[in-house]
Amino acid sequence: MDPKEEIRAFLTSRRGRTTPQDAGITSYGPRRVPGLRRSEVAALAGVSVEYYTRIERGNLSGVSDSVLDALADALGLDEAERGHLVDLARSAQPAGTPRRRRATPKQQVRPDVQWLLDSITGAAAFVSNGSHDVLAANPLGEALWSPLFAKRDRPVNSARFLFLDPVALEMYPDWDRIATETVAIMRHTAGADPRDRRLSELVGELSMQSQAFRTRWASHDVRFHNSGTKRLVHPVVGELTLHFQRFDVAAESGQTMFTYTAEPGSRSAQGLDLLASWAAAPRRAASVLDERGEVGQ
């Protein structure tokens, strides 16, 4: 992911999306291309056309925060898009030595984080990284995403499952929306750390193997993923409507915990309780066998 190309494509896509009406500009006659002209963006941002043209071609080096804010206002960027523009500007700054794409270390959760996950009994919970690797989960989390954890590769990867496994189409009734949101989240993560080798390799793999991913990636949409609602069809308990929350693991850069809960008293809450019992049964059986000395001999 070349920073200059990312900047060019992002700004061009946002300019093409913004209509004169959106920007409060009176438009006369038909336009050859949709969206604003460069001269209109420059005027709205209070910079020269030459300066904006340089920026849109990928040269954000030395651009001040005030200019970035003015561009964001001119293009009607939301909070996630503004953050993405700042990340792209940061990646474009010259460094004292050439920056190489960094290798992402093999990530594991700390024991106390796993203890925390295991202590959560009323919600499905897991910890993932920016590449959508699921690094750890509580028993209910593993049960909820049993089709994902059935894969042999570790760590399991939710983005790879979503785009490359046909089971995901059966599991997610709102697959199109979830796919679009997932790619937008990956775009945001890539902008924040364009040298993340594992994420770059994952983007390359999915771009080669999935037209659905490739089309969405080309849109340059970005978004946050802090809370929301997701529907799933589980092979054991059927359809569930769950509410998720995101929490950063402060002591481990790049690691995030997600919890999934159901509205109390709802059918989904009953299904989640049933799933928790189903998940606990084989663990209780294994514990009894272990106490009898019938395991590990």
Q: What is the DSSP letter of 266?
A: S
Domains and CATH numbers, the chain: 3-91 (1.10.260.40), 111-290 (3.30.450.180)
Note the pLDDT tens digit of each residue in 77-99.
Answer: 999 999 999 988 887 776 543 44
Which residues, listed in sequence order, are joined to residue 102 by a DSSP beta bridge? Answer: 196
Judge if pTM exceeds 0.85: no
Note the pLDDT tens digit of each residue in 155-209.
Answer: 899 999 999 999 999 999 999 999 999 999 999 888 887 777 888 899 999 999 9
Task: Tell me the C-alpha distance between 176 and 192, whole Å.
Answer: 25
136, 116 contact by CB (below 8 A) = no
One-letter-per-residue 3-state SS of 98-141: CCCCECCCCCCCCHHHHHHHHHCCCCEEEEECCCCEEEEECHHH
Write 109-113 long-range contacts (CB < 8 A, 24+).
109/135, 109/136, 109/249, 109/252, 109/255, 110/251, 110/252, 113/249, 113/252, 113/255, 113/257
- Check whether the bond before 155 is cis (ω within 30° of 0): yes
Nearest to 108 by CA among 249, 245, 280, 259: 249
Low-confidence ranges of the chain (pLDDT < 70): 1, 94-106, 281-297
pLDDT for the residue 295 = 38
Task: Tell me the C-alpha distance between 124 and 259, whole Å.
Answer: 6
pLDDT for the residue 278 = 82
CA distances from 169 to 164, 165, 195, 201 (A): 10, 8, 31, 24
Q: Enter the tokens of residue 84.
A: 């993405």
Task: Tell me the C-alpha distance between 168 and 193, whole Å.
Answer: 28
Adjacency order of strands within the sheet including 256-261: 156-157, 133-137, 124-128, 256-261, 238-248, 227-234
